[in-house]
Amino acid sequence: MTMLQTDSQGHLRHFLNFDDLSYQHLISIMDTAESFVGITKRSIKKVPLLRGHTIVNLFFEPSTRTLTTFELAAKRLSADVLNFHPKTSATKKGESLLDTLHTIEAMQCDMFIVRHADSGAAHFIAQHTHPDVSVINAGDGSHAHPTQAMLDMFTIRHHKTDFTKLSVAIVGDVLHSRVARSQIHALNLLQTGEIRVIAPKTLLSNHIKTLGVEVYHNLEQGIKDVDVIIMLRLQKERMQGALLPSENEYFQLYGLTANKLKLAKPDVIVMHPGPINRGVEMDSIVADGPHSVILQQVSYGIAIRMAVMSMILTPPQSQ
Ligand code: CP
């Protein structure tokens, strides 16, 4: 996967994962997003930056947050947006992924936003698409979800400023989570003070410690004195076999309640990429409580996606 994402000057061409990105890339994405936050608060939420560009949402897996915020972000940049719906497309008649791709490419589009259940699908499309077309990974299998991780980093930066002094806990189904994988990668690139991962052994991979994290199997110990808690969704659709005794037991052991939250720092923020399973991953009183920044994550998703799309399609020499 080396260097597919950047050109010889280090500008973003695709955004698939964090493999060949640097600290400076992440800071540039967040600084660019900062300039778009103001636009999202105006009465006319539009700038002409991507006028004349065509962006195609290729979502082969369900989505609420990612699909809608990518569409809104593209429209706020004045791009033309096409939403491809696999369920009502010729893929149902057996058309292959590559034939679908080349068919849409023939309509002179500039960017594909790809969500797919298979790990590596966005990378595969980036390798096979026309050289003038860029690809953003909107979540592939259990591999990566880089714009989600970026909006999470952006949300943390708004509340906490200095990553090197932070203790961040990621809780739950790390094994199946593309979000957790991307968050850990981004937190490491941003030189985060401490990254803790809290999960039952059945929901962690064997090589988790090689990612530079501290592993806990007890929630109360793991969230003690942390600045940020990121709860993960139980990815039931990706679980094979009995990895959990029951949802009720999972909640007793790993569910975040108001009482458990008191163990973290008094100004802790609570995050969740969504969708939330209330009463399984966390109590509603926490999800909707004063420490929760879950809906801010959604809002910042628009600015982050505007930043990534504009950085790819209008690199500095053409701005
Ligand atoms: N966080 C996230 O990817 O949510 P959606 O599946 O709703 O896009």
| pLDDT tens readout for residues 45-54 | 999 999 999 9
Q: How many angstroms separate the alpha carbon of residue 55 from the centre of ligand 1?
A: 19
CA distance 250 to 279: 10
Nearest atom of ligand 1 to the alpha carbon of 66: 8
Work out the angle at residue 164's Cα, subtended by the Cα atoms of residues 142 and 8, and round it to the nearest 5 degrees: 60
Instruction: Say yes or no: CB of residue 66 within 6 Å of ligand 1.
Output: yes
pLDDT single digits (tens) 83-126 = 998 888 888 899 998 999 999 999 999 999 999 999 999 999 99
Q: What is the pLDDT of residue 319?
A: 45
Q: Which helix (H) or strand (E) holds 163?
A: none
Residues ≥6 apart with Cβ < 8 Å to 218: 198
pLDDT of 2 strictly over 50: no
Q: What is the pLDDT of residue 240?
A: 63
pLDDT in tens, 127-147: 999 999 999 999 999 999 999
Question: Is there a contact between 61 and 116 (Cβ–Cβ < 8 Å)?
Answer: yes
Mean pLDDT of 36-56: 94
**Does residue 68 line the site of ligand 1, with CB under 6 A?**
no
pLDDT over threshold 70, residue 242 = no
Residue whose CA lies nearest to ligand 1 atom number 1: 273
- State in Å: Cα 9 to ligand 1 middle: 32
pLDDT at residue 66 above 70? yes
Q: How large a percentage of the chain has pLDDT more than 90?
A: 86
Q: Is 148 in the pocket of ligand 1 (CB under 6 A)?
A: yes
**Mean pLDDT on 167-186:** 97
Domains 23-144+301-318 and 146-298 share a fold: yes
Q: Which two tokens stand for residue 7?
A: 């050109």
Kindly give the distance from the C-alpha atom of residue 272 to the centroid of ligand 1, in angstroms, as a whole number: 10
Please name the residue whose Cα sits nearest to atom 5 of ligand 1: 63
Q: Is the CB of 64 under 6 A from ligand 1?
A: yes
* CA of 139 relative to ligand 1 center, distance in Å: 8
> 146-298 in CATH: which number?
3.40.50.1370
Pick the CATH number of 23-144+301-318 from 3.30.470.10, 3.20.20.370, 3.40.50.1370, 3.40.50.1820: 3.40.50.1370
For the ranges 187-196, 199-208, 258-267, the lowest mean pLDDT is seen at 199-208
- Predicted confidence band at 3 (pLDDT cuts at 50, 70, 90)? confident
Closest C-alpha residue for ligand 1 atom 3: 66
For the chain, the domains span: 23-144+301-318, 146-298
